[in-house]
Amino acid sequence: MLRRLFAVLAVLSLPLAGATVVGGATAAPPAAAVGERQKKPTYQATIRVTKHGIPHVTGKTFSDLGYGSGYMAADASACTLVDTLITGRGERSLWFGKDARYDDQVTLEASNLQVDAFVTDLRNRKVVERLLADKVNGPGRQARALVRGYVAGANRWLRDNKVTDPACRKHAYLADHAKGLGKVTELDLWYGVYLANLLASSGVFLKEIVDATPPSPSDPGIPDPGDLPVTLGDLTPAEQEAVLEGLGRGAGNPFGSNATAIGGDRSTTGRGMILGNPHFPWRGRYHFTQQHLTIPGKYDVAGASLIGSPVVNIGWNKKVAWSHTVSTAYRFTPYEYTLLGPTTYLSDTGPQALERRQVKVRVRQPDGSIGTVDEDLWRTEQGYVAESPATLMLWTPASAWAIRDANGEHLRTIDTFLEMGKARNVRDLLRRQDRAAGMPWVNTTAADRAGDVLYADHSVVPNVPDALAQECMTPVGRVLFELAGLPGLDGTRAGSSCAWRTDPDAARPGVFGPTNLPEVVRRDYVMNANDSYWTPHASVRLEGFARIIGCERCERTMRTRMVTQYVEDRLARRGGAGKESPRSLRRHEHENRLRAAEVMAVGNDLVELCNATGETAACGVLERWDGRSTRRSVGTHIFEEFLERAPEGSLWEVPFDPADPFNTPRDLAETNADVQAALKAAIEHLRSEGVPLDARWGSLQVAGDRGARPIPLGGGMGDAAGNANALASRKPVQNADRYKPITYGSSHIQAIAFKDRGRVQARTILTYGQYENPRSRWHQDQTRLFSRGRWVRFPFTSAEIARHLVRSVTLRGR
């Protein structure tokens, strides 16, 4: 046993391959490093790795930072990084087979062939190449340098190291780097970035774009008479929910986040603080790794980055900290075109033929040979034709729909995050964000050293003011607008009176400028939990903005109400003079209060409801339940199962009131037969599944990502239950025998407080760990901390890094 332990420790203490050790144990540099010293390197980055595997990259240029960032991204997530690049090449069918499924864990679930057909056509059209040549919509010099360095660093790691992660180490594309994947190019990464931009727009309709087929005598695409809605009332509640699901806006989509910023007037420090918790996948393309990027005297930013991102997406510098929450705004509009034939549409200038895009996708056959499959895609001047019955967009002999995508018209995302990292305060942060004009699909919440806090939805939104929508919506487009806030516009006028407008202060044509986007700066607090911009504070209402950005005077989720209630309760102390401290703010993350349970507990309504079911044992559990979702809570599973079945229309006695959005709806309808039946069905379900009614929550809800041990977790259902520590189980790959194995939700959580004398107090937790490889010591170390409600003291200053240093390396390369 001791011999095995010493062997493991010896492996863990090895330096990063292909690097020169400059701190810790001394080792001779590898031959490649010696050769590089003989000539001036193009890149040089010093990487200091601290506890939990957090890399702190220092360089003289942005290309140096990219080099270190790309190297460490491959070190932490080689399988996912390479998978992302293969996706950006349109080569999933080549390496994994055309029928296998690709699931980005967010909005896209499609066959490899469908993904490859879409990406191959983007590449055939040279979409990214054109944007790279565009001085307005393309990336700037520093962003290009970051990407150039990142790709070089990733190539360096793949060249010098052997992948040990069981998920991909035996795959053919890694067996021989030269013959398999080959050298990663900057264009590969840019296409990966571009596809991430499309996550909430064309990515939602990727299958419907690839599978769109012109009507024919055998398949005219015409629904049964009377099936097409003329008004919203023509859709049943189930049909309405199906449309929302098709748009990626359904109740079953957990993609979201929380962010709360406390201003200097209500913080004990007199300065700004922020608690940010993005709810993202625990695996795949959209999971985070942490990093710290520094150019001495010029740039110093830490936080978290999505796989394939050389910049910090959520983080802080010495003067400002920010987080993001998924915005309710749309990034696209569908245009409905009148057809004069199956593939001829009417436009402003007369009849036009749909552009038929024929692509050939390389696929690996079952016998290992390589063949090709032909696919057709169709386009109008505005964008791809999408045949999406789920969202009422059909291709019939009378009409067809095409998608214009605002995020498909720029490549400014990396610039946007890069510029935010240079901000001096929250107003400067927003100015820089607006100038870069590439925030793809999220709100921004921020706090600064001076004590100001910001909420803004200045993301990329098609410039479709309500007046334009009213003038241009088709009958079906109006149904989409009334149901989901998405205007379906008249494609026959897409190039003239129904074209997107342009604001004088917009960075480019067709999107809203800052003046027409919501924002507020305060000194007490702001928050967002994925509801619209309307209520960034309990007493603030932002109104008068276009419906395509979000709804106003509309119901808030219980999660939004809980995030707000945490702060309101704290500030109500001492006769309304209470303040948030750094400790109290971060403590909210693990309090695991459930706002729905708190509201239902008023008047003992929840217990009375249970008593009406006759389920004595379960009612005893609910009566003793603490109303929370901590590891030790008993009864949380009964409550979550009840909410899964609760009838939305009859759950409350007092309905939503836009004059009181944080306190309505309320008063549980405990005497309603449907509500009683829902709770009884929940209890019967748990009994039939053999789940003990008195089980502790932590015995039921455990980590479920790849290679995870069943670590008990607090938190749980987000929107309906009102849990800010939102966790969800989506296609678990580990511990699937447990009641709720977690693969989604709370991810890179950061609690940042600015203090006197220039100090920054940074506490973070990456819930699933920095390294995706189950063999790494940094795979689940932070999951165990998260389970216990603990935090990582993120080293930010040189002295802090030195105290937590595990190893240090200098990379030189060309």
Give catalytic residues, as residue numbers: 257
Token output for 507 = 């960075």
Distance CA 468, CA 447 (A): 36
Given a contact cutoff of 8 angstroms between Cβ atoms, the answer to whether 747 and 22 are in contact is: no
| 698 Cβ contact partners less than 8 Å away, ≥ 6 residues apart | 630, 631, 632, 712, 713, 714, 787
| CB neighbours of residue 182 within 10 Å | 14
DSSP labels for 388-453?
BGGGTB---SSEEEEEEEGGGG---HHHHHHHHTT-SSHHHHHHHHHHHT---SEEEEEEETTS-E
Q: Which of 446, 439, 477 is nearest to 460 (CA)?
A: 439
Residue given tokens 């055998």 in the structure block: 218
| CB neighbours of residue 796 within 10 Å | 22
> In 125-249, where does DSSP find H-type helix?
127-132, 141-160, 172-175, 186-197, 206-210, 237-246
Question: ∠ CA 7-13-18 to the nearest 5 degrees?
Answer: 115
Given a contact cutoff of 8 angstroms between Cβ atoms, the answer to whether 95 and 102 are in contact is: no
| CB neighbours of residue 568 within 10 Å | 16
Half-sphere exposure in the Cβ direction for 104 (13 Å, CA)? 24
| 779 Cβ contact partners less than 8 Å away, ≥ 6 residues apart | 707, 769, 771, 772, 773
Q: Which SS3 state, helix, strand or coil, does residue 254 take? A: coil
Rg (CA), the chain: 27
Distance CA 515, CA 549 (A): 13
Q: Which of 476, 485, 208 is nearest to 329 (CA)?
A: 485
Distance CA 250, CA 256 (A): 12
